[in-house]
């Protein structure tokens, strides 16, 4: 990526509205790639023999494993490589990466004068959205277990190098744009978001 390329990242807890905002920005001309989709692809292969291969626990384990094996910036490298390849065939407004969960990913965006958006949504709303829209391979959880599993992505866990772990608290802290998404409809969320991110 050169200095003329625009870079935007989106972070937030599960089901906060990251995909919704990302889909809008892709339609506006950004090349988009989801860290979550990359992680799910590797997790499906790594845990293919399990009943719920892409559970939150498995996604976290696989993401940490990937960063240990291929470096803390593995997801950023994959995204940049895909962007470089895509630019050979089409012009884009810039690179959009969503589901940012690791400090090294957030730092790269900020250091390259990018916009890092954090979407804030209350836990009860996120839980309801998750259970009503389970992906294939995701287990149904009660609220307490949902929150317990989420915590493994919120702050570094003991016994693992912090550099290879997710830390959503850090992403939230350093984000230079913040959006609320406790709206009852996608339309309301996007109308509010557009007024805040119009300069991106």
> What is the rounded CA–CA span in Å between residue 113 and residue 132?
37
Query: For domain 6-192, is the CATH number 3.40.50.10330?
Result: no
> What is the rounded CA–CA span in Å between residue 112 and residue 98?
16
> What is the rounded CA–CA span in Å between residue 196 and residue 10?
14
> What is the rounded CA–CA span in Å between residue 111 and residue 100?
15
Domain boundaries of the chain, sorted by first residue: 6-192
Q: What is the pLDDT of residue 160?
A: 79
Q: Which residues contact 173 (CB under 8 A, 6 or more apart)?
A: none
Q: What is the pLDDT of residue 137?
A: 80
pLDDT in tens, 64-86: 899 999 999 999 999 999 999 99
3 has a pLDDT exceeding 70: no
What average pLDDT does the chain have?
92
48 has a pLDDT exceeding 80: yes
Q: What is the pLDDT of residue 4?
A: 61
Q: What are the start-end ranges of the H helices in 133-178? A: 143-154, 168-174
């Amino acid at each position: 990526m050169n200095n003329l390329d625009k870079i935007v990242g989106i972070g937030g807890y599960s089901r906060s509205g990251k995909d919704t905002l990302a889909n809008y920005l892709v339609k506006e001309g950004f090349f988009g790639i989801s860290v979550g989709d990359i992680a799910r692809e590797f997790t499906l292969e790594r845990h293919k023999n399990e009943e719920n291969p892409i559970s939150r626990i498995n996604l976290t384990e696989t993401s940490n494993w990937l960063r240990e094996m291929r470096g803390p910036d593995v997801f950023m490298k994959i995204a940049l490589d895909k962007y470089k390849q895509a630019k050979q065939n089409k012009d884009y407004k810039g690179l959009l990466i969503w589901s940012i969960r690791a400090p090294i990913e957030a730092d790269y965006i900020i250091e390259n004068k990018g916009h890092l958006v954090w979407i804030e949504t209350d836990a009860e709303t996120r839980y309801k959205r998750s259970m009503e829209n389970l992906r294939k391979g995701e287990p149904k959880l009660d609220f307490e277990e949902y929150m317990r599993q989420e915590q493994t992505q919120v702050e570094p866990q003991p016994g693992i190098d912090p550099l290879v772990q997710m830390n959503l608290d850090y992403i939230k802290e350093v984000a230079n744009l913040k959006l609320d998404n406790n709206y009852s409809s996608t339309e309301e969320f996007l109308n509010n978001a557009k007024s805040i991110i119009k300069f991106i």
